């Protein structure tokens, strides 16, 4: 199974691109979705987090109290590393497990922080959705109504466009309209269908 790692900065268009691949019949395994599923009550990863951070990270219903966890991370710099040491291997193992059972010629592994978490070896090729920062800010503002300074802080905390592009095998420059994006995804889809598993390279169709 050829695994394409889909990544990009905030608001670059990852979810939109993922949906377009899904419409073409290609399965998308989403790291963020799995991360949420793995910390539901009863899941081993939630138990591991409670062992590490204490029961105060749970709500009265026994669910993960995300705002409490965010606060912990904000006040204790080691907490983020400890959290990631528990969550990331669990998420990547589950993504790998789900990809193994698939029958399609290729699949998409959507990993927003693929570069930041050094997860390059999880995938055969890296598809970067690239977009000028000005457009990222505009789109996130429109979508979430977030404050521009907060969006800029998030952008600064992520890998830079250059860092991400340095790892890319394929690039979608998402600065046109949705019809253009759809055409680009279709072209890439045809290209991926012709590739063999584990095929690396820098050939851009």
Subset of residues 53 to 72 that bind ligand ATP, contact rule: CB under 6 A = none
State which H helix or E strand residue 68 sits in.
helix 66-75
Find the binding residues for ligand ATP in span 108-127 (CB under 6 A): 112
From 49-57, 74-82, 173-181, 183-191, span contacting ligand ATP (CB under 6 A): 173-181
Q: Is the dihedral of CA 155, 159, 163, 166 positive or negative?
A: negative
Binding to ligand ATP by residue 16, rule CB under 6 A? yes
Find the radius of gyration of the CA atoms of the chain: 18
For residue 51, CA distances in Å to 47, 66, 73, 146 come to 6, 16, 16, 34
Q: Is 10 in the site for ligand ATP (CB under 6 A)?
A: yes
Taking the complex as a whole, how short is the minimal distance between the CB of residue 149 and ligand ATP, in angstroms?
A: 16
The residue ranges of DSSP E strands in the chain, in sequence order, are: 2-8, 28-30, 106-110, 125-130, 170-173
Q: What are the φ and ψ backbone dihedral angles of 58, each rounded to 5 degrees? A: -105, 150
Cβ distance 181 to 130 under 8 Å?
no
Choose between 2 and 140: whose C-beta lies nearer to ligand ATP: 140
Span 77-106, contacts to ligand ATP by CB under 6 A: none
Q: Using CB under 6 A, count the residues that bind ligand ATP.
A: 17
Span from 52-60, 79-87, 95-103, 176-184 in contact with ligand ATP (CB under 6 A): 176-184
Binding site for ligand ATP (CB under 6 A): 8, 10-16, 112, 139-140, 143, 174, 176-178, 181
């Amino acid at each position: 199974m050829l695994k394409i790692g889909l990544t990009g900065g905030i608001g670059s268009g990852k979810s939109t691109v993922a949906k377009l691949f899904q419409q073409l019949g290609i399965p998308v395994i989403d790291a963020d979705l799995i991360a949420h599923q793995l910390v539901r009550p009863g899941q081993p990863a939630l138990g591991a987090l409670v062992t590490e951070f204490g029961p105060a990270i749970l709500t009265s219903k026994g669910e993960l109290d995300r705002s409490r966890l965010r606060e912990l991370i904000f006040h204790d710099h080691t907490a983020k590393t400890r959290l990631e040491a528990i969550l990331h291997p669990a998420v990547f193992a589950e993504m790998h497990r789900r990809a193994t059972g698939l029958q399609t010629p290729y699949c998409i592994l959507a990993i927003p922080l693929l570069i930041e978490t050094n997860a390059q070896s999880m995938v055969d090729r890296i598809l970067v959705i690239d977009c000028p920062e000005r457009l990222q800010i505009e789109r996130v503002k429109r979508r979430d109504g977030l404050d521009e300074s907060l969006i800029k802080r998030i952008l600064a905390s992520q890998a830079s466009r250059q860092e991400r592009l340095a790892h890319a095998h394929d690039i979608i420059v998402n600065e046109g309209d949705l019809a253009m994006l759809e055409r680009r995804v279709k072209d890439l889809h045809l290209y991926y269908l012709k590739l063999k598993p584990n095929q690396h390279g820098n050939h851009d169709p």
